[in-house]
Amino acid sequence: MESKILVTGGAGYIGSHTLVKLLEEGYDVLVLDNLSNSKLETLDRVTSITKKKFEFIKGDIRDKNILKEIFKNKSINSVMHFAGLKAVGESENFPIKYYENNVLGSIVLLKEMALAEVKTIVFSSSATVYGQHSNNRYDEKTPTKPINVYGKTKLIIENILRDIKNSDDNWSIGLLRYFNPVGAHSSGFIGENPKEKPNNLLPYVAQVAAGLREKLFIFGDDYPTVDGTGRRDYIHIEDLSSAHVRALDYIQKNKNILFTVNLGTGRSYSVFEMINAFEKVSGKKIPFKVVERRIGDLAEFYADPSKAEKLLDWKANFDIKKMCEDTWRWQKNNII
C-alpha cells in the first residue's frame, strides 16, 4: 500500500492551502480535523481546485482511538500538524482550553505516532514564541519568551518535540515559525474565513472593504515607527504552504534531523501601508479610526528568513499587492 501524509487541521486556513500543494505534488493525504474552526465545504473546494482525491476523517487529535485506527490502517509515514487553537485574546481568557487542545492534543498525537513508529513531523509554530526584543529582525537564535498563553503552548510543543528527538534519534522534525500569514489561493476558492470578528489586520480590512464592517480600528499610531503604526512581516499563504512541502521533502530525505526555521519575507509593512495597498487593489476606501494600542502588541518585528531560504531552497515570492489582490478576490467571492 502507498504511504500517506496525515494532515491534522487540514480543513483550516493554512492546512487547506498546504493540502492543495501536497495534492498538486502528488502526495497521498489523509486529513484529520474536528471542524471546530473550519467547514467541510473548504475540503470540497480543495477537490475542485486540484481535481484530486484525498481522505477525510472528522475527529479530534485528543482522541487516541481515532489516531490508533489511523496509524494502524492507513499506512501513514509522516504528519503535518496544523490542528490547534490560535486566538491570542481567547487564550488569555481560557488558558486551560488552549493547553488542553494544543499541548495535550499534541502529546496524544505524538504518543500514537511513537507507538506506530511514525517519526516524521512538520509542526506549525509561530513567531509569537519570540516575544519582545530590542532588535526587530528575529533570527532563529533570538531567545524565546512568549508573552501570551497561545505563544506559550507553541513553545511547550516545540520543547516536547526537542526532548523526543533527544531521546530517540529516529525522529525527523521540522519546526516552522510563521510570521503573519495573509492572502488566499489565487483561484479565490479558499481563503481565511474567521468565524468571529477578525483579530488580524488583513481579514478585518477586507471585511471593511466589502461593507461588512463600518471601519477599521487602528490599534495605536504612536509607536516608534515611521508612521506610528505597527509593522509586521506579512507572508502570502501560497509562499507559506510551499515552504511546508519543502520542509516535508527535506525531513523525508534527510532522516534523523530536527530543524527550526522562520517563515517570513524579511521585511515589514505598517498598518497604513497595508491599508493603502488594499485600497489600490480593491478601489474601495477603508475608513478608519485610531484607538488605543492593543495589549501585547509590539511596534515592529520581522523575520530573518535566510535559514529557511538556504536549508529548504525556498523563498517567499509574493508581494503585498498580490497579498491584497488575493485576499480581496476571496473576500468578494466567498463567505462560506
* Binding region for ligand NAD (CB under 6 A): 8-9, 11-15, 33-38, 60-62, 82-86, 101, 105, 124, 126, 178, 181
Q: How far is the CB of 145 from ligand NAD (least distance, A)?
A: 17
> Residue 244 binds which entry of ligand NAD, ligand UD1, none, with Cβ cut-offs from 5 to 8 Å by kind?
none
Please pick, among 98, 130, 150, 250, the residue that the annotation labels catalytic.
150
- 184, amino acid identity: A
Residues contributing to the site for ligand UD1 (CB under 6 A): 88, 126-128, 150, 180, 199-201, 204, 216-219, 230, 232, 271, 294, 296-297
Residue closer to ligand NAD (CB basis): 37 or 270: 37
Residue (90 or 139) nearer to ligand UD1, CB: 90
Nearer to ligand UD1, 218 or 237 (CB): 218
- The residue ranges of DSSP E strands in the chain, in sequence order, are 4-8, 29-33, 55-58, 76-81, 120-126, 137-138, 172-178, 180-182, 216-219, 231-232, 234-236, 258-263, 269-270, 288-291, 302-303
Residue listed under C-alpha cell 535566510:
306
Q: Which grid coordinates belong to 16? A: 487547506
CA distance 158 to 68: 23
Helix, strand, or coil here: 251? helix
CB 269 within 8 A of CB 302: no
Least separation, in Å, of the C-beta of 203 and ligand UD1? Answer: 8
* Nearest alpha carbon to residue 256 among 154, 167, 159: 167
C-alpha distances in Å from residue 58, one per residue of 31, 49, 67, 255, 279: 8, 21, 11, 30, 39
**Active-site residue, 204 included:** no
Name the binder of 35 from ligand UD1, ligand NAD, none, CB < 5-8 A by kind: ligand NAD
Rounded-to-integer distance, Cα 49 and Cα 184, Å: 13
Which one, 11 or 79, has the nearer CB to ligand NAD?
11
Out of ligand NAD, ligand UD1, none, what residue 232 binds, judged by CB under 5 to 8 A for its kind, is ligand UD1
Partner from ligand UD1, ligand NAD, none binding residue 29, C-beta < 5-8 Å depending on class: none
The set of catalytic residues is 150
